[in-house]
Amino acid sequence: MACRFVPYIVVGVVHLVCVLAGAATLVAVTKPLLMPVLLVCLLWALPVRRGEVALLGSLAVLFGWLGDVSLMDAGPGFVIGLGFFLLGHLAYVVLFWRRMRFRRPRWWSVLYLAWFAALLAVLAPHAGALLAPLAAYGLALVALGASGSACNRWISVGAACFVVSDSLLGLDRFLPGFALWQIDFLIMLSYLAAQGLICVGIVRTARSRLPAASAVASAARLVPWARSRRR
């Protein structure tokens, strides 16, 4: 199963090297390729390519792609990209809650809410008219992290990486004087890890539950046969 995500890893590594090298042209070429390659890998690895898991997973990745492309526009593209990523997060949350979770959200997921309050307090004086959209986006991230903690460790870690990536993006965009070494690289590294780990986790859960679903379907087919035998 892991080998089916190799194309995404290769394209991701090439993109990160271009970011480190400051090759702006190559960054602009490779960035729009990231999510389409991940989508192909996800559908290739899923045991069933039709149904709710494939649909919601595909929507989340596609919204991520639209967000990536929108953020390449330094002007109004940021707000548009924020909206697409918000939709992508909501698609993941619905998928996690309906099909991926196997326990309640972990107790430590309350830290996501504390993170949201602290980050919003830091960014609020500098966000201006974008404060309300940022607050809505932050709540979606809290929901992503909390619902992800109810899933397997791949999804849980991936959701946490999303929180890290978007936090770095928000601080870099809105907080004056905020500076980290290779901030663009760190944002993309955590973002690519988030999307990749979540998709791997989706596939692992889907594959682990396939035998149980097949057994239920087989039992359902046997019931009419057994009844007819008793008659």
| Burial classification of residue 20, based on how many CB atoms lie within 10 Å of its CB (0-12 exposed, 13-18 middle, 19 or more buried) | middle
Give the whole-angstrom CA distance, residue 175 versus residue 169: 10
Write down the domain spans for the chain.
Answer: 2-206
Residue 216 has pLDDT above 50, yes or no: no
66-70, 73-77, 147-151: the lowest-pLDDT one: 73-77
Q: How confident is the model over 112-135, as a mean pLDDT?
A: 93
Banded pLDDT at 157 (limits 50, 70, 90): very high
Residue ranges with strand state E in 109-227: none
Q: Strand, helix or coil at 19?
A: helix
pLDDT for res 218: 44
Q: Which DSSP state fits 218?
A: H
Mean pLDDT computed over 3-10:
94
Q: Over range 156-161, report the average pLDDT.
A: 97
- The residue among 183, 181, 153, 150 whose CA lies nearest residue 165 is 183
Q: What is the pLDDT of residue 78?
A: 84
Cβ atoms of 110 and 59 within 8 Å: the answer is no
**Tokens, residue 221:** 């087919």
In whole angstroms, what is the distance from residue 213 CA to residue 34 CA? 32
Rounded-to-10 torsion of CA 5, 58, 204, 211: -130
- Indicate if the pLDDT at residue 101 is higher than 80: yes
Write the burial class of residue 22 (CB in 10 Å: 0-12 exposed, 13-18 middle, 19+ buried).
Answer: exposed
Yes or no: say if 4 and 26 are a contact pair by the CB < 8 Å rule.
no
